[in-house]
Amino acid sequence: MADAFRARLGHDFARPDLLAQALTHRSHGARHNERLEFVGDAVLNCVVAQALYERFPGTDEGDLTRARASLVNGVTLARIARRLALGDAVRLGDGELKSGGAKRDSILADALEAVFGAVFVDAGFDAARRVIVAAYGEELAQANPTTLHKDPKTRLQEWLQARRMPVPEYAVVGTHGEAHAQQFAVECRIPSLGIVAGGAGASRRAAEQDAAGRAWEEVISPGIASRQRPA
């Protein structure tokens, strides 16, 4: 599983033990990923700040700060981690494993930051920047500081309303895990565009935001966005 994840990540570790540590939750053993997460958080913020600074030279500090916060928050990190199928590779203790920890936003987000930290420790800033920019490809390509700070549900709803289209429908389609660590599965449905996007989270609200973020990725794809213009 870790080998497949490493291939998806696109970095050949000189020290494979760093990746193993990054993928180890504290519930699994003493050599867990929290120190690497600390490093990864700092590197991620720096890479995203640089990317936004270079791409939007006329944008003020406030908008850049809000845009960065939106890109590095737990919801976005968890969505990228799922895209990379990180949950298949993360190592958890028996309790966390049984309670669905491999699908939990917080565990996925923390592990992804730890992975970024592991790449930095293994090969330096340039290597970490390449990995982060590749992982954030869709998010950075569609970044817009004037709207990015809005949560996914708000952004999606405003986009549709500007085009006089019905707002999305959200439906809980499943729950799993123990009562103290329950995970919700939600679908965001936009019938007028033929979009049904699934999301997951530790609460219904978090799952709806995740589903809205995935629906947004479909909405702004060239095939759809090019056919829809503001009225």
Q: Which residues does the annotation mark as catalytic?
A: 41, 113
Distance of CA 175 to the CA centre of its chain: 21
Task: Give me 159's structure tokens.
Answer: 């986009």
Residue bearing tokens 């990015």: 148
Q: How far is CA 217 from CA 18, 200, 204, in A?
A: 32, 16, 20
Q: How far is CA 64 from CA 27, 39, 54, 182, in A?
A: 36, 22, 11, 35
Q: How far apart are CA 199 and CA 151, in angstroms?
A: 14
Residue 186: phi and psi, rounded to 5, are: -130, 145
Q: How far is CA 90 from CA 72, 74, 134, in A?
A: 20, 17, 20
How are beta strands 183-190 and 169-176 bridged, if at all? antiparallel
Residue bearing tokens 């003020």: 60
Strand ranges inside the chain, DSSP E: 169-176, 183-190, 195-201
Task: Give me 64's structure tokens.
Answer: 């850049």
